[in-house]
């Protein structure tokens, strides 16, 4: 009886932070949506390289994107379904497999950051702490194929939106920190950070920035998240 009660209490304790993480996911993104993003890579000397992408996402683990600029990247498209990722390059032929730790833009953001799934799809929330007006969620990867072994997510207690996320390797080494900034009303009840910045102790002096625009809920066909549709993602605009 005592053992059964202990198991029940443990399950209840884990259910609360898991529910919080799911709410954070929905506050960041509708269930299905489209958006435009500008990605900026900043070099130590201040020089910048910019990319503009159009993206669509459906459910917890499907996202497709196409590069609109610069001209050298235009038409390239990416698809992520669960842990699987592909890159389509016009005139090359069939899509090629890519990994979460690579980067299609070459900056601090890797493919897992650019093709972000719901956090609750990739991580379990093992512990939650309260610090003044923040909750700190300790997240552990569900599988070894996830880009980061663990995350420490600082969440605004009122808005239930992340303010900062630290990303760690299995060794405990800090890989990068994501900073969520400029809360913006995108319409349709979606109020979330419009800017994510990242830096890394492994790449001192470098910084990458992701700016979100025209983000809105949209019903999307399942076909949009298939390899055969990769060359036509831009047609959804």
CATH domain 2-236 topology: outer membrane lipoprotein receptor (LolB), chain A (2.50.20)
How do the domains of the chain map onto residue ranges?
2-236
Instruction: Retrieve residue 10's tokens.
Output: 């443990």
Q: What is the pLDDT of residue 5?
A: 39
- Candidates 69, 176, 193, 48; CA nearest to 112 is 176
Mind giving me the DSSP string for 33-72?
EEEEEEEEEE-TTS-EEEEEEEEEEETTTEEEEEEEESTT
Q: What is the pLDDT of residue 226?
A: 97
CA 222 – CA 226 distance, rounded (Å)? 8
Q: What is the pLDDT of residues 150-187, one digit of tens each?
A: 999 999 999 999 999 999 999 999 999 999 999 999 99
Q: What is the pLDDT of residue 94?
A: 87
Q: What is the pLDDT of residue 25?
A: 96
Instruction: Please state whether the predicted TM-score (pTM) of the whole model is above 0.85.
Output: yes
Q: What is the pLDDT of residue 131?
A: 85
- Where the chain has pLDDT below 70, the residues are 1-16
């Amino acid at each position: 009886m005592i053992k059964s009660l202990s198991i029940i209490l443990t399950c209840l304790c884990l259910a609360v932070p898991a529910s919080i993480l799911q709410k954070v996911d929905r506050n960041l993104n509708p269930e299905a949506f489209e958006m435009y993003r500008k990605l900026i890579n900043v070099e130590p000397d201040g020089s910048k390289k910019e990319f503009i992408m159009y993206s669509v996402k459906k459910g917890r683990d499907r996202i497709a994107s196409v590069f609109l600029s610069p001209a050298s990247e235009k038409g390239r498209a990416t698809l992520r379904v669960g842990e699987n990722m592909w890159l389509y390059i016009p005139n090359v032929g069939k899509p090629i497999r890519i990994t979460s730790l690579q980067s299609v833009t070459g900056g601090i953001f890797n493919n897992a950051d650019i093709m972000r799934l719901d956090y609750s799809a990739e991580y379990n929330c093992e512990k939650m702490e309260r610090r003044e007006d923040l909750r700190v969620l300790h997240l552990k990867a569900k599988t070894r194929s996830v880009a980061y072994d663990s995350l420490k997510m600082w969440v605004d207690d009122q808005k239930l939106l992340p303010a900062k996320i630290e990303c760690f390797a299995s060794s405990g080494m800090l890989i990068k920190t994501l900073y969520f900034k400029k809360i913006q009303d995108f319409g349709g009840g979606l109020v979330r950070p419009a800017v994510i910045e990242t830096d890394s102790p492994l790449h001192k002096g470098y910084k990458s920035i992701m700016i979100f625009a025209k983000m809105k809920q949209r019903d999307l066909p399942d076909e949009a998240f298939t390899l055969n549709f990769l060359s036509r993602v831009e047609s959804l605009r």
